[in-house]
Structure 1
């Protein structure tokens, strides 16, 4: 995959498998890490790529009487477990 600097941004190529690489500078600027989810949105102008919010879906399977603080704690623990699992599975 090659990148090319343009006046309005960088470009990357789509692989045969439909994969793209997000340029390192953009990953660092927007805090994107391995395992993060990206949202692809269709707009009138084309496609918008955004980092999926951390809070989307949080607490959906937790009893209603669980405090917001506890929900956040549980979600952060689960997120850390998922990141660790993905990290170890993706290593050669």
Structure 2
């Protein structure tokens, strides 16, 4: 990985498998974590990458009378449980 800095960022290399490492500084600044989804968009200037929102489908399976605050709380609890399960259940072979 190259850490050559330009005016607005850092450069990295694409692996043979098409993978790219997001610089730690940017992951921390934008709150990017394992499992987050990124949207790659073609623009006139080139490629734009942005984090997709986690809340797009939140509350779809909850009754309509549940408040937005409660929906968000439930979604955050489920997300924390999923992350915890990923960390404890996965073992490298």
Question: Is residue 3–residue 13 contact of structure 1 (8 Å, CA) maintained in 2?
Answer: no
When normalised by structure 2's length, the TM-score is 0.79
Q: How does 1:35-74 map to 2 (within 5 A)?
A: 35-74=35-74
Greater RCO (CA < 8 Å, at least 6 residues apart): 1
When normalised by structure 1's length, the TM-score is 0.80
Q: When the two structures are aligned, how many residues end up with a matched partner?
A: 92
Measured on the aligned residues, the alpha-carbon RMSD in Å equals 2.0
Gaps of 5+ in 2: none
Gaps of 5+ in 1: none
Once the two structures are TM-superposed, the CA of residue 91 in structure 1 deviates from its matched residue by 5.7
CA distance in 1, matches of 2:27, 2:70: 30
Determine which structure has the larger strand proportion and give its number.
1
